[in-house]
């Protein structure tokens, strides 16, 4: 017997369910827990909906009973509302595009739930994420999953050394097809359950969520081109994101895309397909994993969206003038536990990138190893 106790975050899906099974087979003393996150004012989603729905709780409870482990439901509605939903709304109101899954991982799963795990005497917290943790080079390292198509390290870059020391990812060495096959072999009822949607608390389009629960964000204004010419009207900055084309209407003879959002002037700025390309960015709220701190330039692969492929870039400490110019942007909500707004990094891409978006994360890789990452504060157009 392993003897070590592990709390498994069970979402009611196939991944976390199999994670619990595998850890029990490895001899761990396994406890299952589902986080009750769903705010009472939101309608409960369908079975195919979010990972924090009422049906998800029941699916997790059934799996825990089948494999014979204790099961708890922990109420994190307050912290989820404060750290994830409120932050999500505030970022859109500020003209940025947030990634609530990253915030949830950092503050809720590996923050509040890890604290609960320790209260229950657990040595580790485990999830069904596709990623790997290794100890080496004097640090805990976060590496990509074996299944590149399911790798979730982008959403986990905010984990600190303390988090990683207490984290297990049992599925990091599996392909998704293997996960479903093993779940079926163990006769788990969730073996063929569809994966949950990306934003668990948004049932449908995020714009509908904002319009329904935050009508104050409906602040119409001008759509302008790069020369300041008014070419249309918008419904409110919160309903637009960098790179967006759909929903702008006919603004001219050729397709136009959102290339910037100006909160001070309440303007959506548009341009053609070439003008949505960016050559560099400034990032803040940094969290370093593979290195203790960042002092000199490095060549890395940088990823600016979960669904985007990484691209070669040079990262370097931001110069003094860049730090001064980014003071306002650096007040963006932090999404890492360790980051600070003064820890600014310049990212210069070897090839222009499409739709570099303030509020999103940029994550740096050295082959399959996560070097670190931060929040995009400013994007600079390609020349």
Task: Lowest mean pLDDT of 68-77, 244-253, 316-325, name the range.
Answer: 316-325
| CATH code where residue 166 lies | 3.40.50.620
85 & 165 share domain: yes
The tally of domains found in the chain comes to 3
62 & 167 share domain: yes
Catalytic residue among 51, 52, 101, 104: 104
Residue 349 lies in a domain: yes
280 & 265 share domain: no
CB within 8 A of 95, min separation 6: which ones? 237, 261, 262, 263, 358
Domain range for 51 is 5-185
What tokens appear for 178 in the block? 């293997």
| CATH code where residue 245 lies | 2.30.30.280
pLDDT digits 0-9 by tens, 70-97: 999 999 999 999 999 999 999 999 999 9
DSSP bridge pairs for 6: 30, 124
Whole-model pTM: value is 0.91
| pLDDT at position 267 | 96
165 & 244 share domain: no
- Domain limit, last residue, from 185, 203, 235: 185
Task: Confirm whether 51 is a catalytic residue.
Answer: no
Residue 41 lies in a domain: yes
Average pLDDT, integer, range 234-246: 93
Residue 198 lies in a domain: no
Average pLDDT, integer, range 208-232: 93
| CATH code where residue 343 lies | 2.40.30.10
281 & 344 share domain: yes
Closest CA to 111 of 146, 150, 76, 59: 76
Average pLDDT, integer, range 255-271: 94
12 & 134 share domain: yes
| pLDDT at position 54 | 66
Collapsing DSSP to helix, strand or coil, 338 comes out as coil
- Domain limit, last residue, from 134, 169, 185: 185
| pLDDT at position 383 | 64
284 & 137 share domain: no
| pLDDT at position 75 | 93
238 & 358 share domain: no
Catalytic residue among 51, 52, 101, 200: 200
Is 3's pLDDT higher than 90? Answer: no
**pLDDT interval class at 254 (50, 70, 90):** confident
283 & 374 share domain: yes
360 to 103, 339, 378: CA distances (angstroms)? 11, 15, 10
| pLDDT at position 331 | 45
| pLDDT at position 310 | 96
Q: In whole numbers, what is the pLDDT of the chain averaged over residues?
A: 89
pLDDT digits 0-9 by tens, 24-48: 999 999 999 999 887 777 766 554 4
What tokens appear for 16 in the block? 């976390």
| pLDDT at position 41 | 73
Residue 210 lies in a domain: no
What tokens appear for 264 in the block? 């001070």
Residue 147 lies in a domain: yes
Residue 202 lies in a domain: no
Average pLDDT, integer, range 85-113: 94
Residue 212 lies in a domain: no
Average pLDDT, integer, range 330-352: 67
Is 207's pLDDT higher than 50? Answer: yes
Task: Confirm whether 104 is a catalytic residue.
Answer: yes
- Domain limit, last residue, from 227, 254, 271: 271
Residue 197 lies in a domain: no
160 & 26 share domain: yes
φ and ψ of 326, to 5 deg: -95, 10
**pLDDT interval class at 51 (50, 70, 90):** low
305 & 171 share domain: no
Task: Lowest mean pLDDT of 14-23, 173-182, 197-206, 233-242, name the range.
Answer: 197-206
181 & 48 share domain: yes
């Amino acid at each position: 017997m392993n003897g070590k106790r592990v709390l498994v975050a069970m979402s009611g899906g196939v991944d976390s369910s199999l994670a619990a099974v595998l850890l029990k087979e490895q001899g761990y003393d396994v406890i299952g827990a589902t986080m009750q996150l769903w705010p009472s004012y939101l309608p409960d989603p369908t079975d195919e909906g979010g990972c924090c729905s009422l049906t998800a709780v029941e699916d997790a409870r059934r799996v825990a009973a089948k494999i014979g482990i204790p099961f708890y439901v922990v109420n994190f509605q307050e912290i989820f509302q404060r750290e994830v939903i409120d932050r999500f709304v505030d970022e859109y109101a500020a003209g940025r595009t947030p990634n609530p899954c990253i915030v949830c991982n950092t503050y809720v799963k590996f923050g509040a739930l890890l604290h609960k795990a320790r209260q229950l005497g657990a040595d580790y917290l485990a999830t069904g994420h596709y990623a790997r943790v290794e100890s080496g080079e004097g640090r805990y390292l976060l590496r990509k999953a074996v299944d590149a198509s399911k790798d979730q390290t982008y959403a986990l870059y905010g984990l600190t050394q303390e988090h990683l020391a207490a984290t297990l990812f049992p599925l990091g060495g599996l392909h998704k097809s293997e996960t479903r096959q093993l779940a079926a072999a163990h006769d788990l009822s969730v073996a063929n359950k569809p994966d949950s949607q990306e934003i668990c608390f948004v049932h449908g389009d995020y714009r509908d969520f904002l319009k329904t629960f935050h009508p104050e964000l409906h602040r119409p204004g001008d759509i302008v081109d790069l020369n300041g010419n008014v070419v249309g009207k918008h419904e409110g900055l919160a309903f637009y994101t960098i790179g967006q084309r759909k929903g702008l209407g006919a603004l001219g003879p050729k397709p136009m895309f959102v290339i910037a959002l100006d909160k001070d002037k309440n303007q959506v700025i548009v341009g053609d397909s070439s003008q949505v390309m960016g050559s560099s960015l400034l990032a803040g709220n940094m969290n370093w994993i593979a290195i203790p701190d960042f002092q000199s330039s490095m060549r890395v692969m940088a990823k600016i969206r979960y669904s985007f492929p990484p691209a070669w870039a040079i990262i370097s400490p931001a110069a003094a003038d860049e730090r001064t110019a980014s003071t306002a942007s650096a007040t963006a909500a932090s999404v890492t536990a360790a980051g600070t707004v003064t820890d600014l990094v310049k990212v210069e891409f070897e090839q222009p990138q499409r739709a570099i978006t303030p509020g999103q994360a940029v994550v740096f890789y050295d082959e399959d190893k996560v070097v670190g990452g931060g929040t995009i504060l400013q994007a600079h157009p390609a020349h």
